[in-house]
C-alpha cells in the first residue's frame, strides 16, 4: 500500500518545481530582451523598428509551432478582443515606452523598471478579490519592492531633460500590471497558452506597425550588416521563448505569480547591462538582489 503513495509523492516534485523553473526562465529571458534592445540601439537600429520586427518574427515563429502541434485559432470576437487588448497593454505599449527610453536612460534603468509590476499586480489582485491577503504575501511583496527601490536608487541622478524619459519608462510597469490582470480575467475559453502567445504577439506587431507607418520610422537599421541581423534574430528567438513560457506560467501561477518575472528580469537585465553594455556597477546591487530573492520565496509560499 505504501509503494503507490511514494510513487505519487515522487511525481509531485516535478509538478511543484515547474512554476518556479518556469518563473526563473521567463524572468531571465525578459531581462535578456531588454539588453539585446540596448545593443540593437547601439548598432544603429531604431528601437521601435527593432521592436516591430521582434514581435512579428517571434509571433510567426510561435504560430508555426502551434500549427505543427495541430492548434489553429478559431476566429471569434472574444479571441480578437483578447488579442488586441493583450497585444496593446501587455506588449506593444509598455515595450514602445521602454524601448524608446533606452537610448536616453540606458537598458539598465529600463530593466530596473521591470521590478515594480509584481507589487502593483498584487495590489490590483487584492482589490479585485482575485488573491487573498496573507502575511507572507504582503511581507514578500514589501521585501521585493524594497529590493526594487534599491535597484532604482542605484541609477545615477538624472541629467537635465531626462526626466521625461524616466517618467515614460516608469509608466510601463503600471501598464504591465494592468495587463497581467486582464489576461487572466478575459482568458478565452478553451484557448491554450500555445495558441494565445502568437495571437498576442502578432496583434502587437500590427499595432506597432501602424505606429511605424504613421510616424515614418525607418524599418531598417542604419547599416543592415551581420551584427544588426544577428541581434534581430537573437531578439526574435528570445521573445518567442519568453512568451511561449509566459502564458504557461500565467496558467500555472495566476497573474500575481507571473508578475514576479519582473523582479528576475530586473536582476538579470541590470547584471547583463553591467557586463555587456559596460554600465555602472551599483554598490547596493547585492543587498537589492538578496531582498528580491527572499521576496519571491515569501510570495511563492503565500496562502491562497
The pLDDT tens digits of the residues spanning 219-252 come to 999 888 999 999 999 999 999 999 999 888 888 8
Find the farthest-apart pair of alpha carbons in the chain and give their distance in angstroms, rounded. Answer: 72
User: What's the whole-model pTM score?
Assistant: 0.81
Position 181 scores a pLDDT of 92
Position 281 scores a pLDDT of 67
265 within a domain of the structure (yes/no): yes
**How many residues are recorded in the chain?**
304
Position 189 scores a pLDDT of 82
Position 17 scores a pLDDT of 67
d(CA 25, CA 244): 11
12 within a domain of the structure (yes/no): no
Domain ranges, residue 49:
22-300
H helix count then E strand count, the chain: 12, 0
d(CA 95, CA 88): 10
Q: How many domains are there within the chain? A: 1
105 within a domain of the structure (yes/no): yes
CA distances from 24 to 100, 145, 223 (A): 26, 18, 35
Extract the residue ranges of the chain whose pLDDT is less than 50.
1-13, 303-304
Grid coordinates of 304 = 491562497
3 within a domain of the structure (yes/no): no
Grid coordinates of 21 = 523553473
Position 93 scores a pLDDT of 95
Per residue in 95-151, pLDDT tens? 999 988 888 888 777 887 887 787 788 888 888 887 777 787 778 778 877 877 776
13 within a domain of the structure (yes/no): no
282 within a domain of the structure (yes/no): yes
DSSP calls for 3-49:
HHHHHHHHHHHHHHHHHHHHHHHHHHHHHHHHHHHHHHHHTT--HHH
d(CA 133, CA 160): 41
14 within a domain of the structure (yes/no): no
153 within a domain of the structure (yes/no): yes
Position 128 scores a pLDDT of 83
Amino acid at each position: 500500500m505504501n509503494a503507490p503513495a511514494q510513487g505519487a509523492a515522487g511525481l509531485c516534485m516535478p509538478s511543484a518545481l515547474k512554476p518556479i523553473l518556469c518563473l526563473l526562465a521567463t524572468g531571465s529571458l525578459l531581462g535578456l530582451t531588454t539588453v539585446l534592445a540596448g545593443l540593437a540601439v547601439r548598432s544603429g537600429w531604431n528601437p521601435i523598428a527593432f521592436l516591430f520586427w521582434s514581435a512579428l518574427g517571434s509571433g510567426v515563429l510561435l504560430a508555426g509551432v502551434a500549427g505543427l502541434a495541430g492548434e489553429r485559432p478559431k476566429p471569434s470576437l472574444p479571441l480578437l478582443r483578447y488579442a488586441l487588448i493583450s497585444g496593446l497593454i501587455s506588449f506593444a505599449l509598455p515595450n514602445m515606452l521602454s524601448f524608446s527610453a533606452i537610448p536616453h536612460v540606458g537598458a539598465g534603468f529600463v530593466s530596473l523598471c521591470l521590478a515594480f509590476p509584481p507589487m502593483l499586480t498584487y495590489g490590483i489582485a487584492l482589490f479585485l478579490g482575485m488573491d487573498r491577503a496573507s502575511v507572507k504575501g504582503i511581507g514578500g511583496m514589501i521585501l521585493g519592492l524594497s529590493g526594487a527601490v534599491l535597484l532604482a536608487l542605484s541609477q545615477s541622478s538624472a541629467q537635465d531633460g531626462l526626466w521625461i524619459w524616466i517618467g515614460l519608462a516608469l509608466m510601463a510597469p503600471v501598464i504591465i500590471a494592468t495587463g497581467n490582470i486582464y489576461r487572466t480575467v478575459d482568458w478565452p475559453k478553451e484557448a491554450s497558452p500555445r495558441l494565445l502567445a502568437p495571437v498576442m504577439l502578432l496583434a502587437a506587431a500590427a499595432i506597432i506597425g501602424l505606429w511605424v507607418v504613421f510616424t515614418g520610422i525607418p524599418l531598417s537599421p542604419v547599416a543592415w550588416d551581420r551584427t544588426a541581423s544577428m541581434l534581430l534574430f537573437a531578439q526574435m528567438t528570445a521573445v518567442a521563448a519568453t512568451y511561449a513560457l509566459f502564458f504557461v506560467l500565467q496558467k500555472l501561477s495566476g497573474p500575481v505569480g507571473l508578475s514576479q518575472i519582473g523582479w528576475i528580469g530586473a536582476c538579470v537585465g541590470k547584471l547583463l547591462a553591467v557586463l555587456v553594455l559596460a554600465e555602472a556597477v551599483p554598490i547596493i546591487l547585492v543587498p537589492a538582489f538578496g531582498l528580491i530573492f527572499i521576496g519571491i520565496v515569501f510570495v511563492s509560499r503565500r496562502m491562497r
